[in-house]
Structure 1
Amino acid sequence: MKVGIMGGTFDPVHIGHLVAAQHACEQANLDEVWFMPTHVPPHKVEAPKATPEQRWAMVCRAVEEHSHFRPFDMELKKGGVSYSIDTVNELLLQYPTYHFAYIIGADMVQYLPKWFKIDELVQKISFIGLQRPGYIWDMELLPEAIRKAVLPVQMPLIELSSSLIRKRLAEGKSVRYLVPDRVNEYMVVNGIYEPQAAD
């Protein structure tokens, strides 16, 4: 079984995440993509606006109709800061016959040498780097062990981010078509990211 790991804060999950997962699934011949929300991401200073429970609920709704996508709550259950090496060790313990690959953006590929225990990580899993139009990366700048662990995958340019969605919702604007319908419904019903009343 070849599984792609789509990690992230997912605050909220949006169609850009789903498009990236689909392209990775097709071009890297993955059997499944597991969407794994982080509890506390190590690379981000700002805490997520939505609660872990809300982010999990949105991910579940986003992937429910795709036969190859699965929500996976290992890092949310564990709590605390999520380091990839700890997650990978736990995954390989639970699924010793599976091959795992992290799906990451092109900008994150260049950042790989700074990942915690990256030398150990590249011995255990591979990486799928999403190459979007207009972004140039230089694989030659990466150490050989990391370079060998990265599979480049082409992806269309989608100018969409969770922060943009939060901003639009905070301004009272619609995000329909930017997130799956069931995610949009959940955000509206639960008042997540809604406009803040002025003091």
Structure 2
Amino acid sequence: MKLLASGVFALATLMASSALAQAQAPANYGPAIPGVCVYYGAQTLAQSTVGQSVSTRMNALSQEVAGELAPYAQSIETEITALQQGRASIPPAELQSRSQAVEQRIREAQQLEQTRQNELRYTLDVQRRAIATAVDPIIVAVYQERGCGLLLDRESVYLMNPAMDITPTVIERLNVALPSLSFNRLQVPVDQQQAQ
């Protein structure tokens, strides 16, 4: 859930900064430099239909994980409250046994949450790679069509003449080539689990 929240925040920040940049655009951009093009991958992820479908599905998967974890948290909280309220009346051996059981359930819940977070990260990474695989040949084609000799990342460019931006064309073509992705939460492969 932390990952998704930060991803949603980053997307919202991106959209807000994009809107702010458009509002503060100069009156005269200057000439488009022949052979120099700019591409903005984050905009492609945010505005393409496939990027939006991945975002929507990741939100749904995150909600599923939250729903799966909620009963664990609720039962642990209930047991902790019962132990705190009954501290004076529960025999010490039983109090210790129940406390240890709660600690074990907390560790198990934390481990499950970590596993699910890793699965969500891995699932998102797989979808981003699928988008990259689809978008790379489109970028190359537009680069060649526009006669680009240099392709800059939009994140490295403060201001530019919009005529140099190939992103809208790439998004249009990606929307046709890969309108959406359908997927479920993926388990992290064992070899990658060990690396984490």
- Which bracket does the TM-score occupy, shorter chain normalised? under 0.3
Greater relative contact order (Cα 8 A, min sep 6): structure 1 or 2? 2
TM-score by length of 1: 0.23
Answer 1 or 2: which has greater strand percent. 1
